[in-house]
Structure 1
Amino acid sequence: MMKRLMLLGAAPLAISAIMPAAQAQDATVAKRVDRLEKEMRAVQRQVFPGGAPAFFEGEIAPDTVPGERIKAATPVADLTARVDALEAQLQTLTGQSEQNAFQLRELEKQFAAYKAEIDKRLPPAAATEAVATPASLPVVTTAKPPTPTLASTTPAAAPTKKPAPTPAASTKPDAARLALVKKVEIPSSGNETKDAYDYGYRLWEAKLYPEAQAQLKQVVTKWPTSSQASFAQNLLGRAYLDEGKPSLAAVAFYNNYKDRPSGARAPHSLMYMGVALDKLGRKADACKAFRELEEVYGDKAPQDVRTDAAAAKAKARC
C-alpha cells in the first residue's frame, strides 16, 4: 500500500519534469518547419517568377543597412558575388583602356613630330623633278644639241643663222628609245586602273625608268584612292632609286606612307625611305624610318619587308 502511494506521488513530479522538455522540442521543430517553408517559398519564387503573391509572399526584406550583404548560401548571395566579380573586372578593363588611350596619344604625338621633321628636311618633289613625257607615248629625248661649225664661230658668220640639224641626227636617238618602249607590251585586261599600273611596272622592269615614272605618276594622279595607287607611288620611288635619284625617291616613298598609311605598299615605302635616306648620307634619319617601321607595323609588315629592313639597318649601322 505504501509503495502504491509513493508511486502515485512520484507520477505528477515526473510528468511535470517531462512537460518543459517536450514543449521545448516542439518549439524547435516548429521553428525548423517554418524555416523550411520559407526557404521552399523562396525557391518557388525563383522557379516560378511572377507567381501569385497569395502563395509566394515576400520573404527577403530590402537591405536597410548600407553595405550589408546577404551572406546566406542563397541564389541572391551567389548573384551578389557574381556582380562583385563583374564590377572588379570592369574596373580592371577601364584601367587598361585608359592606359591604352594614353599610349596611343603619345604615339600620335611622336609620329606628328617625326612627320614635321621629315617635311622640313626633305625637299619638295615639284622643285626637283624632271618634266616627264606623256604616258601615252613615254619616250625620252636623248639627242644632244648639234655642235656649232667652225664657220658659225667666226665673227663674219655671226649674223647668219645656225644650220638646222639634219633629220637623221635629231631623230635617230628618239627612234632608238621609241623602239625600246614599243617592245614593252601594253596590257589590256579590261581593268583600266590595273592595266595602267601594270604597264608602268613593265616599263620599270625593262629599266625604262623615266617612262615608267611618267606612267606611274599618271596612275597616282588619276586614281589617288584606288588600291593601285599605293603600288604605283611605291614603284615610282623604286624607279627614282634605281635611276640614282635617292632624293626624289625619299620624297615619293614618304608621300606614299603619309597619304596611304594603310595601303598595301606603305610598309615597303617606309623601309625604302630609310634606304634612300641612307644613300643620301642621312643615317640618323634612315634609322628613324626603320624604327618607325617597327613601331607602326611590327609583325604586320610582310616578311620580305622585315628581312630587307634588317639588312638595311645593319648596313646603316642603326
Structure 2
Amino acid sequence: MRNALFATSAVLLAMAAPAIVQPAAAQNAPVEIRVDRLEKEMRAVQRKVFQAGTPIEAEITRPTTPTVAPGSPASTPIADLTARVGALESQLASITGQVEENSYKLRQLEAAFTKYKAENDARLAEPAPVAPAVSVPVTPTPTAAAPKPSAPKPAAAAPVASEARKAAVAAVERPDTGDAAGDAYNYGFRLWDAKFYPEAQGQLKATVEKYGSSPVASKAQNLLGRAYLDDGKPALASVAFYENYQKRPRGDRAADSLTYLGEALIQLKKPADACKVYQELEQVYGESLSNSLRGMMTAGRAKAKCS
C-alpha cells in the first residue's frame, strides 16, 4: 500500500511538471524576443553611425552571474533578462540622441560654410580698392595765366613765363657723386623740393624705370606719388603709392606709400577704402611705424571716420 502511494505521487508530479515549466517559458519568451529586437536595432544604429569603419563593441554586455552566498536567494532568469533589456534600451536612447546631435551640428557647419563661401565670392568679385581706374594724363607745358582782354601785348606773356621757368629749373643743381641711381633720385628730390612738380614727376618716373631693381627705387616711387599728390593728382598718386607697396613691401618707403595711399583715397572721396588701407598698415608694420607716419594714420582715420 505504501509503495503504491509513492508510485501514484510520482505519476502526479510527472504530469504536473510540464504545466509548471510552460508558464515560465511563456513568460521568458517575450523578454527574449524583446532583447533580440533591441540588439538588432543597436547593430542597425551602429551601421548608420559608423559607415566608414568597424562598429564599436557595445559597452553593455550580459551581466556576469554573481556568486551567491549560501542561504541567499538566487536571481531568476526573468530578472537577468529584464536588466539586459533596460541596459540595451538606455544605450539605444543614448546613441539615438548622439546621432541627432551630430546631425544638427553637421547642418550648422554646412550652413556656416555656405555663408562663408558666398561672402568670399562676393569679396573676390569686388574691384581692388587701392587700384583706382585713372586715365593717363598729358603733362601740360607750364604757361602763364591767360591775360585779360584789356592787357596790352598778351602774346608776349607766355614766352616770358616759359623762359623764366626753364631758367629756374636749369638752376637746380644735378648731383654727381658717381652713384648714378642715387644721383638720379636726388635730382628728382631737388626738383620736387623746389615745387617743380611736373619736372620732378618725369625725373622720378625715369629713375624708377631705369633703376627699378635698386634699393633707391622704393624712395623714387614713393616720392613720385607725393609729387602727384602735391600737384593735385590724387588718382595718379594712389596708383604710384599702391604699386610701390605691392612691388616693394620691404622697401625703405613701403610704409610711407601705404600711409600716403590712405590720404590719396580720402582726397578721392573713398573713406571706406582709406580705412582698409590704414587697417592693413597697422597689421603689416605695427610697432615699426615711425611717430610721423603713425600721426598721419591717426589723423587720416579721423578724417575718414574709421570705426
TM-score, normalising length: structure 1: 0.52
Q: Of the candidates 128, 138, 142, which is equivalent to residue 130 of structure 1?
A: 138
**Aligned twin of 2:212:** 224
CA distance in 2, matches of 1:147, 1:170: 13
Asked if the contact 2:143/2:158 (under 8 Å) is kept, the reply is no
CA distance in 2, matches of 1:279, 1:296: 23
Task: Please report how far the alpha carbon of residue 170 of structure 1 lies from its aligned counterpart in structure 2 after TM superposition.
Answer: 5.3
1:72-91 map, 5 Å: none
| 2:128 aligned counterpart, secondary structure | helix
Shift of 1:182: 2.0
How far apart are the structure 2 equivalents of 1:131 and 1:178? 15
* 3-state SS in 2 of match to 1:118: coil
**How big is each residue's C-alpha offset from its partner over 1:268-306, in whole Å with a ceiling of 9 and x where there is no partner?**
000100011011111000101100101111112333212
1:280 aligns with 2:291: no
Structure 1 segments unaligned to the other structure (5+ residues) = 1-108, 133-139, 149-164
Given residue 270 of structure 1, which amino acid in structure 2 is its aligned partner? L
Shift of 1:213: 0.4
Q: After superposition, what is the alpha-carbon deviation per residue over 1:33-79, rounded to whole angstroms, capped at 9, x for unaligned?
A: xxxxxxxxxxxxxxxxxxxxxxxxxxxxxxxxxxxxxxxxxxxxxxx
Q: Does 1:186 align with 2:180?
A: no
Matched residue count: 183
Deviations 1:147-174 (A, max 9, x none): 99xxxxxxxxxxxxxxxx97x5553222
2:202 aligned with 1:201, yes or no?
no
Q: Provide the alpha-carbon RMSD of the alignment.
A: 2.9
Question: Could you say which residue in structure 1 is the equivalent of 2:277?
Answer: 289
2-side partners of 1:131 and 1:218: how far apart? 15
SS in 2 for 1:293: helix
Given that 2:139 and 2:198 are in contact with CA atoms closer than 8 Å, whether structure 1 keeps it comes out as no
Q: Which residue of 2 aligns with 1:106?
A: none
Match of 2:233 in 1: 245
For 1:185, the aligned partner's letter is: E
Alpha-carbon distance in 2 for matches of 1:221, 1:243: 21
Q: Give the TM-score normalised by structure 2.
A: 0.54
Identity among equivalent pairs (%): 49
Report the counterpart of residue 142 of structure 1 in structure 2: 143
> Measured at CA, do residues 263 and 171 of structure 1 come closer, stay the same or move farther in structure 2, by a change above 3 Å?
same
| 1:198 partner letter | N
CA distance in 1, matches of 2:125, 2:172: 40
- Residue number among 282, 293, 297 corresponding to 1:305 in the alignment: 293
